[in-house]
Structure 1
Amino acid sequence: MTVRPLVAGNWKMNGTKESYEEFAKIAAGYDAALAEKIDMLVCPPAVLLAQFAEVENLPVGAQNCHAAASGAHTGDISAEMVANVGGKYVIVGHSERREGYGETDADVAAKAEAAWRAGLVAIVCIGESLEQREAGETIAVVTEQITKSLPDATTSANTVVAYEPIWAIGTGKTPTADDVAEVHAALRKSLVERFGEDGEKIRLLYGGSVKPTNASELLALPNVNGALVGGASLKAADFLGIAEAYKNF
């Protein structure tokens, strides 16, 4: 079954108004030839969402949202706010949120439901720590995360899953291609067992030090339907270099 790939950029806490120039270069590089093969997306800091959303050919998303639609939640943004300024996606459950802010699988599931409520696609992140990998617990950990972080109403239309080994994020280290293939196969099996035929269609992205130099190998793996890119998405040349690997497939 062919699943349309998605290459998504997570800018994290980087970027200012002047970064629009780099974003515009990415949008310009997302030409008709590339758009025929894949979807692309950039998730900038929330303060840049409205500005970036004015570019029509390249969707934007947020890096987080609150589960509630509104209320006394100082410093938070709701999924409805993201949608209101033109966002189409929202990342939920990134390891930096899970680790730094104590977000649980239940919190992530609630945020995914909030995303759907606002008409957004949720990008649900999962991944294991170095200690868990070295203990041989990777498959058990990510399978539990994907089970508890995805609500029952998950579909291929409203949700994307991103596997990011925590120890590979921003470190320059990556699992072997065989390691990535093994994890994605286990995730696909879990999705199909729970969601049936539609589980075959849910996009599984790989994230964790994806670069133009390793993109072709990683993106060609079975059950890898794109990438969630961190640091390399801040530069148009690097981000497009990753996406353009699909022109060779």
Structure 2
Amino acid sequence: MDNLIYEKISNHVGVLKINRPKYLNSLNIKTLNEINMFLDEIKKDNDLYVLIITGEGDKAFVAGADIKEMKDMNSIEAMEFSKFGNKVFKKIENLEKVVIGAVNGYCLGGGMELALSCDIRIGSNNSKFGQPEVSLGIIPGFGATQRLLNVIGIGKAKELIFIGDMIDSKEALNIGLLNKIVDNPVEEAINISNKIIQKGPIAIKQAKKSVNFSYNKNLALDYEVECFANCFNTEDQKEGMEAFTQKRKAEFENR
């Protein structure tokens, strides 16, 4: 795997790192493919009880999807991209392991959607969170319009999605996006993992299934995919992403 690093640090705990620090660990199609293949392999490891997901370096967990790769997509390509990202994140959400997101630095867009697919989220003091997609003329496409409102409530979710501003780790903790803030998220995730693996592994699996049953039946992820793809038929999407790559403010014209 070119963009992932995996280490099994004990019989029952593994750490997966998104390894594109030069690009703030942004999610391109190749990285999503690698995560997808990794998940297919890891689910066969019956001795793995907890998977920790983090980003390489201290600047970013994942700073979003790869805008340069997305900006020239048409609506059909965008729909396939969104479907695939959703497929990968559903696998994380429904993995028969506990998944802990150890969030270091920027956790934006697709990165926040990755974190939302984890069972538990631990942040660092310098973590920054946000769904800035509307600034690009699009909407979240990997599940945030559904998972975020279930995690923090519909009002706060609409605020974050409609405005697109970043929030710090303290606010993320206050609204329930984070479980806790620590100096070293991976270290704390390991501490939590060591408590979890002492409990009945079958009971943990069944507990996760039961919690997810009610949670997942209300997710309209397929509709999010459709709305995400619709944005790629607009001039606003082209302008928003072009402006991002040119490091200027977008000028939207509502068409």
With normalisation by structure 2, the TM-score equals: 0.31
With normalisation by structure 1, the TM-score equals: 0.32
Pair member with larger Rg:
2
